[in-house]
Amino acid sequence: MSVVRLEVDGSIGTIRLDRPPMNALNAQLTAELRTAALQAAGDGRIRAVVLYGGEKVFAAGADIKEMAPMGIAEISSWVRDLSSTLETIARLPKPVVAAVTGYALGGGLELALCADVRVLADNAKIGVPEIQLGVIPGAGGTQRLPRLVGLSRAKDLVFSGRQVRADEAERIGLADAVVAPGEVYARARQIAESYAGGPAMALAAAKQAIDDGAELALSEALRLESALFTGLFGTEDQRIGMDSFVRQGPGKAQFVGR
């Protein structure tokens, strides 16, 4: 039985986790998540993506029952597959919004960290509790988290393994919006739709410039930005956008995604 599905509605693709009761990340979910992400990347209808675990929980972490008996060789393969899958999601050339309800812990938070924007329910609890199991986050928690909230805050969360409520998450930059539980998906979709009408190739270039540039020296990042900027002058959307600006002023272009 499938535990991840890609639902397409208009220009929005929703990657929906469906492994009740807690959407624990196991090998099957990881494989299907990767497949869904690759499908979303290649589907021209999809202009933005929402990650969603349902009304009750986003993902409460990795499947400890699956992991616990593994030796070093097995867990090495397991975590490599999960990390690769999350990197595929983080590298989607389209805006990605995480709609987080209930718990997003461990691998669940690492999945949410791959999104460009995170919307949390006001009763959500998030964190990286791996230290309480005698290990550390292994699929991006020690790397994406400090890049988002800073070294000191990330160390506190990783060292303590404590759960963070939505109001604190918003205060430290882990949440971009906090809404009532019943409004999480609608708000995430609203944000995704606000991006979906934009020039697809320019959005992909902007995401690459920001994400890749953050890992480079400033001089190299500026060269990357210039190269991506220049390349967009071969796109139809660039011609549409500039022609519309000249004729009608800003904000009126109807982009076609090419």
Same domain, 12 and 135: yes
* CA–CA gap between residue 113 and residue 142 (Å, rounded): 11
Residue 256 lies in a domain: no
pTM: 0.95
Based on the structure, what is the number of domains in the chain?
2
Tens-digit pLDDT profile for residues 146-192:
999 999 999 999 999 999 999 999 999 999 999 999 999 999 999 99
Q: Indicate which residues carry an active-site annotation.
A: 110, 130
Residue 53 lies in a domain: yes
Q: For residue 209, what are the CA distances in angstroms to 110, 147, 191, 224?
A: 22, 16, 21, 7
Residue 42 lies in a domain: yes
Q: Does 251 score more than 90 pLDDT?
A: no
* CA–CA gap between residue 76 and residue 81 (Å, rounded): 9
Q: For 189, phi and psi rounded to 5 degrees?
A: -65, -40
Same domain, 8 and 124: yes
Tell me what percent of the chain is helix, strand and coil, each rounded to the nearest 5.
50, 15, 35
Question: What is the predicted pLDDT for the residue at 233?
Answer: 95
Beta-bridge mates of residue 165: 125
> In terms of residue numbers, what domain contains 146?
4-196
* CA–CA gap between residue 158 and residue 69 (Å, rounded): 23
**What does pLDDT average to over the chain?**
96
* CA–CA gap between residue 179 and residue 191 (Å, rounded): 13
From 154, 169, 196, the end of a domain falls on 196
Q: Does 133 score more than 90 pLDDT?
A: yes
* CA–CA gap between residue 27 and residue 71 (Å, rounded): 15
Residue 253 lies in a domain: no
Angle between helix axes 200-213 and 218-231 (nearest 10 degrees) is 170
Tens-digit pLDDT profile for residues 81-92:
999 999 999 999
Residue 113 lies in a domain: yes
Question: What is the predicted pLDDT for the residue at 39?
Answer: 98
